[in-house]
């Protein structure tokens, strides 16, 4: 794909500074780009590369003010990161196409309802009474249990297992190795010390425009539904337990675990390796730093949490400043104790 700087600027609604006729054919990091490449600057720590880059054109935000002369052609946009993501989406659309047709061997139940333009990869299995929308892509070795619903334009990559009764919305992406609808972790302790399994009879509902990373697991509800609301983005290697609800447009980073029956508000951001205990209610627009352990309800919308157990971000930073100085504080206390002892008159025997 070759585009002129003018064509890229038109696509992104940007203003050109430099040669509008220059052609680019690839996308690259700013520190590695050549004259045939387009790159972008969004993070200030990469600004030094702007003055040395060989890139044919660089996207910059309209509020950026260069500190030195820039030799590269520039396209000035409202937000360089957003514009770059739009360009990547267009690049991907033009350079990558999904396979089509039904490959053999694969199994498609006669009772399944299939929309037009289905791709069913080799060794895929689709069970009874499944409803599949238009333009759905099921890659090789996908398993779809009975009574599952899959909306239009959804892509399910190789090795994904979708248990019975699951509902998946439109325009979703589920990456390789993910399991949706497996049993929740429910066991009743018995008098003899053993555990009796509690049947998990609920389901999973995944709403529209959700993306789920590789090897993530979403358990079905004990009763009712585990719900992933519209626009949610889950990273790789995440555990979502039974009866959890993740609010719309929330993003969750890798290796996070959300225990049963907890509810996360909309538009929240959760860092990697966060642990959230069961039966909690977390408000909208919260931020949880990586490695935090959330053990209490968070009722304040917009709160930022850090630490284990997690609490207010600013208080956590202040506490950590004291914590890392504990050896010095201990030494000072010992010195003060010795000084007090030396100044204290000895009692007569």
Handedness of CA 151, 155, 158, 160 (dihedral sign): negative
**Per-residue pLDDT band at 216 (split at 50, 70, 90):** very high
Q: Which CATH architecture has domain 101-314?
A: 3 Solenoid (2.160)
Listed residue (1, 27, 154, 24) closest to 83, CA to CA: 27
Q: Do 3-95 and 101-314 share a fold?
A: no
Determine whether domain 3-95 maps to CATH 3.20.20.80.
Answer: no
The 8-class DSSP code of residue 45 comes to: G
Percent of the chain topping pLDDT 90: 83
Residue 329 Ramachandran class (φ > 0 left, ψ -120 to 50 alpha, else beta): alpha
pLDDT of 97 reads 85
Give catalytic residue positions. Answer: 242
Tell me which H or E stretch contains 226. strand 225-228
Domain boundaries of the chain, sorted by first residue: 3-95, 101-314
CB atoms < 10 A from the CB of 177, how many? 18
Radius of gyration (Cα) for the chain, nearest Å? 27
pLDDT of 348 reads 64
Q: Reply yes or no on whether the pLDDT at 164 is more than 80.
A: yes
pTM: 0.85
Average pLDDT for 161-189: 97
Q: Which residue has the higher pLDDT, 287 or 330?
A: 287
SS3 264: strand
């Amino acid at each position: 794909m070759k585009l002129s700087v003018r064509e890229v600027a038109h696509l992104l609604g940007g203003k050109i500074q430099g040669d509008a006729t220059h052609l680019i054919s690839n996308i690259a990091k700013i520190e590695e780009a050549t004259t045939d490449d387009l790159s972008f600057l969004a993070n200030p720590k990469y600004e030094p590369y702007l003055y040395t880059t060989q890139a044919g054109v660089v996207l910059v935000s309209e509020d950026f003010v260069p500190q030195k002369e820039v030799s590269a052609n520039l396209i000035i946009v409202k937000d360089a990161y957003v514009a770059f993501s739009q360009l990547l989406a267009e690049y991907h659309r033009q350079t990558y196409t999904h396979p089509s047709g039904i490959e053999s061997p694969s199994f498609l139940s006669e009772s399944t309802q299939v929309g037009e333009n289905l791709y069913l990869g080799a060794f895929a299995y689709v069970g009874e009474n499944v409803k599949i929308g238009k333009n759905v892509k099921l890659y090789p070795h996908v398993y779809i249990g009975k009574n599952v619903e899959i909306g239009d334009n959804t892509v399910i990559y190789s090795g994904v297992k979708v248990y019975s009764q699951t509902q998946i919305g439109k325009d979703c992406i589920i990456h390789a190795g993910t399991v949706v609808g497996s049993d929740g972790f429910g066991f009743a302790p018995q008098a003899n010390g053993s555990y009796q399994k509690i049947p998990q009879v609920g389901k999973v509902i995944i709403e529209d425009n959700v993306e789920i990373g590789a090897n993530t697991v979403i358990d079905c509800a004990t009763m009712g539904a585990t719900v992933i609301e519209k626009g949610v983005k889950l990273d790789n290697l995440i555990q979502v337990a039974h009866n959890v609800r993740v609010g719309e447009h929330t993003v969750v980073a890798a290796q996070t675990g959300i225990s049963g029956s907890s509810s996360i508000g909309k538009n929240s951001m959760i860092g990697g390796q966060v642990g959230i205990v069961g039966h909690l209610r977390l408000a909208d627009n919260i931020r949880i730093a990586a490695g935090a352990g959330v053990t209490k309800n968070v009722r304040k919308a917009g709160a930022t949490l850090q630490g284990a157990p997690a609490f207010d971000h600013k208080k956590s930073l202040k506490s950590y400043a004291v914590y890392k100085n504990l050896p010095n504080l201990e030494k000072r206390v010992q010195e003060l104790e010795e000084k007090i002892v030396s100044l204290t008159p000895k009692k007569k025997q």
